[in-house]
Amino acid sequence: MTGRGVMLAGKAIAVVSFLFMLHSGYSAREYLLYSKSIGRQNLSLPIEIVLECLVALAVMTVALVVGVGELKPISYEAEMKRYSIDGMYSRPSFQVFNHRGRFLRPVKNVL
């Protein structure tokens, strides 16, 4: 499989495992509501629901790690390779055009 196919498969497996996690949550809620309605005091979940949730969590974790793709480098050198020296020292956010210079030499109105 190519890199893109592995990423797509990882994301698909993550979605399916998320649906299994939702199903285990719904099953746990239904089981607890049923237990309360028949008056049971012990409200521990069955092992099937717990295992379904844990297996879905493990599969989702592996699928997300596989499906994330190639990571980008975070070193300073890798970041600076993208910029030229002109781009590094040009900071338009520090260029202020509305400053006190207009009061030093007022502009004459020409009509």
The percent of residues in the chain predicted with pLDDT above 90, rounded, is: 41
Tell me the mean pLDDT in the region 5-19.
92
CA distance 30 to 107: 78
Q: Would you say 90 and 61 are in contact if contact means Cβ atoms under 8 Å apart?
A: no
DSSP notation for 9-62? HHHHHHHHHHHHHHHHHHHHHHHHHHHHHTT-S--PPPHHHHHHHHHHHHHHHH
pTM: 0.62
Q: What pLDDT digit, counting tens, does each position of 39-83 carry?
A: 888 888 999 999 999 999 999 999 998 888 777 778 878 777 777
Does residue 20 surpass a pLDDT of 90?
yes
Nearest alpha carbon to residue 13 among 70, 65, 59: 59
56 vs 101, residue with greater confidence: 56
Q: What pLDDT digit, counting tens, does each position of 32-44 carry?
A: 999 999 988 888 8
72 vs 10, residue with greater confidence: 10
Does residue 1 surpass a pLDDT of 70?
no
